Amino acid sequence: MSIRVPFDTVKETVKKALLCAGLSQEQAETCAAIHTQSSADGVESHGLNRIPRFVEYIQKGWINLEGRPVKAGGFGAVENYDGQMGIGIINALFATDRAMELAKEHGIGCVALRNTTHWMRGGTYAWRMAEAGFVGISWINGESCMPMWGSDQMGVGNNPICMAVPREDGEIVLDMAMSQYAYGKLGVYRLAGKKLPYPGGFDKDGNLTSDPGAIEETMRILPTGYWKGSGMAICLDLMAAVLANGNTGIDQNAALRGSCGGSCQIFIAFNPYLFATREEVQAKLNRRVAAADATHPDREGGKVTCPGERTKVTRARSMKEGVAVDETIWSQICSIAEGNLDVKDIASF
């Protein structure tokens, strides 16, 4: 069951919970704002639902609250930072901002971060770039949680890639994991007693299935586009580990520090106004997006949209009516905020 809670109440409660978990005022303020925004944008799986697990990771010592991005190297438009296993959100925000600084100086900027922890919602950083007026690409490599195409054994991370387009009349932002459905989504469908709209993995007999429970059992989630998502996932892993001089997915498997513990993250920002004026660029973006959105829907009452457009609608509703939060998760967070850190991670992703 979902309830709606005012944005500021959510944020203040999450902040209290994070202070109880040992974060500094500044860390708690930043992380609470990001987690609340993720839920407000409709990405609950990596918003509030992640708080109990985040607290658990801190207690296990998998996140180093003293960790800060330390410059490990730099050359021209590229910089490399060691995240010291610090808070994923804080490290990733730093890297995003630094990539944009480099882009101001060099036209393009790339920050490659290693030894960092889960960045939570990948789209956070792409939205930040788009809102600041930059085109952007970012991705992460994680531990093996998806079989590669042709395999029935975990072989590669579900490495999301994000893309940012700074359209001022509505940012266009892609936040795309490499599996067709997230584990969290499977649980949502199973609990609702529903089948997935399209096959999302393999059952124990090795057949493609839309039964979420059967996929949870085998953990054989389907790469998006079958062989395609599998191929992109391994490329993103290799590129991230090389560019950041950090861990590959299998190095993370071996280290056992939770999801994306010790991962690499890449942030590339481009100045979109090098060769055309802001007005020209914005007019072009508006024209193209309008044309896409105007294509004929495949069903009565349907509406074609570009990535990010629905997020803005969800965001506006959350600001007006409150942020939708799962009741159980909310009571857990309230409990943490009262100092009870011994909370079980009930969300599965």
CB of 79 to its own copies, least distance (A): 9
User: What are the CA-CA distances from residue 89 to residues 34, 77, 301 (Å)?
Assistant: 8, 23, 39
Angle, helix 25-40 to helix 7-20, in steps of 10 degrees: 140
Contact window for its own copies (CB under 8 A) among 41-49, 272-280, 312-320, 337-345: 272-280
70 three-class SS = strand
The window from 10-18, 45-53, 301-309, 333-341 that contacts its own copies (CB under 8 A) reads 301-309
**Interacting positions 113-172 with its own copies (CB under 8 A):** 135, 137, 147-156, 163, 165, 167, 172
Instruction: Check residue 226 for interaction with its own copies (CB under 8 A).
Output: yes
φ, ψ dihedrals at 213, nearest 5°: -65, -40
Rule CB under 8 A: which of 13-52 touch its own copies?
none
Q: Using the rule CB under 8 A, is 78 a contact of its own copies?
A: yes
Q: How many CB atoms sit inside 10 A of residue 314's CB?
A: 16
Sheet of 161-165: strand order equals 70-75, 78-82, 108-116, 263-270, 135-141, 161-165, 172-176
Out of 46, 106, 118, 296, which one is annotated catalytic?
46
Decide if 270 contacts 106 (C-beta within 8 A). Answer: no
Of 227-266, which residues contact its own copies (CB under 8 A)? 228-229, 231-232, 234-239, 241-245, 248-250
Q: How far is the CB of 168 from its own copies (least distance, A)?
A: 13
- Which residue, 76 or 339, is less far from its own copies as judged by CB? 76
H-helix or E-strand containing 188?
A: helix 183-191
Sign of the alpha-carbon torsion through 113, 119, 123, 128: negative
Is residue 188 within the footprint of its own copies (CB under 8 A)? no
Contact of 314 with 2, CB cutoff 8 Å: no
Q: Assign residue 256 a region: left if phi > 0, alpha if psi is -120 to 50, beta otherwise?
A: left
Tell the smallest beta-carbon distance from residue 164 to its own copies (Å): 8
Is 204 near its own copies (CB under 8 A)?
no
Separation in Å, CA 130 to CA 123, 194, 202, 207, 335: 10, 35, 37, 41, 35
Binding of its own copies at residue 212 (CB under 8 A)? no
Does 108 bind its own copies (CB under 8 A)? Our answer is: yes
Contact with its own copies (CB under 8 A) among 3, 304, 313, 346: 304
Number of residues that bind its own copies (CB under 8 A): 83
Does 207 bind its own copies (CB under 8 A)? Our answer is: no
Residue among 256 and 304 whose Cβ is closer to its own copies: 304
CB of 318: closest distance to its own copies in angstroms? 21
Is 46 tagged catalytic? yes
Which residues are catalytically annotated? Answer: 46
